Amino acid sequence: MLKEKPEVPKKSFWQRSKPVIKEYGESLLIAFVLAMIIRTFVVQAFKIPTGSMKPTFTEGDRILVNKFIYKFREPERGEVIVFKYPENPKLAFIKRLIGKSGENLKIKNGRILINGREITEKQISANFYYNRGKYGGTEQEIKVPADTLYALGDNSANSRDSRYWGFIPEKNMIGKAILIYWPPYRVRLVE
C-alpha cells in the first residue's frame, strides 16, 4: 500500500524571504555603522569648490582627509589642512599651514618670514605671496596668537585666507589632506 505524503504547508513569499531580508538588513546596518565611524574619526571625503589652492588642487578635485593624524602629532608647516572656517564653522576650508602658535610672521616682497627667517619653497607651494588684507598687508609683522594657526592658499592672488580673516583656532582643525581620488587623471598623494 502506498502511503500519501503528508501535505507540507506552502510558505508565502514573505515567509521565505524573511531570512534573506534579515541577513541583508544586518549587513547593511553593519556597513552603515562602520562607514559612519570611519567618516567621523578616520577619513572624510571633500570636494574642492574654488581655485584658491591652484595648482595643488583645481575646482572639482575630490580629496580624502586624514582626520586622526593631529590627535597624535602637531600639524607641520607646509601641510595642506582642512578646517572649520573661523567666520562660519559650518563651512570647511582647505589651505596650506604657514604659521603656528607663538610665531612671528611677515610677508615681504612675496616671501614669507617666520621669526625673521625666510621659509623655503620646500615648505610652501606658492612662489609669490601677495601683501593683502588686514593680517598680511603692508609687510607688517604678525604674531600668531596662542592655540591658533595661520594658513594661506597656494593661489595667493585669488585666495581669501588668513591674510583677510585672521587666525584658525586649533580646535577648528578637521585634518590633513592626503589624497586626490577624483578625477582619475589627477589621482595622487598630496605633498
Q: Any residues with CB less than 8 A from the CB of 176 and at least 6 apart, and which?
A: 65, 66, 69, 70, 75, 79, 80, 81, 82
DSSP assignment string, 111-125: EEEETTEEPPTTT--
Asked about 22 being catalytic, the answer comes back as: no
Helix (H) or strand (E) run with residue 82 in it:
strand 80-84
Q: Are 73 and 93 in contact (CB under 8 A)?
A: no
Task: Kindly name the residue from 52, 125, 159, 162 that is annotated as catalytic.
Answer: 52
Task: Kindly name the residue from 54, 67, 95, 176 that is annotated as catalytic.
Answer: 95
Chain Cα centroid distance, residue 165: 19
H-helix segments, the chain: 13-41, 162-165
Asked about 52 being catalytic, the answer comes back as: yes
Q: For cell 585666507, name the residue.
A: 161
Active centre residues (catalytic): 52, 95
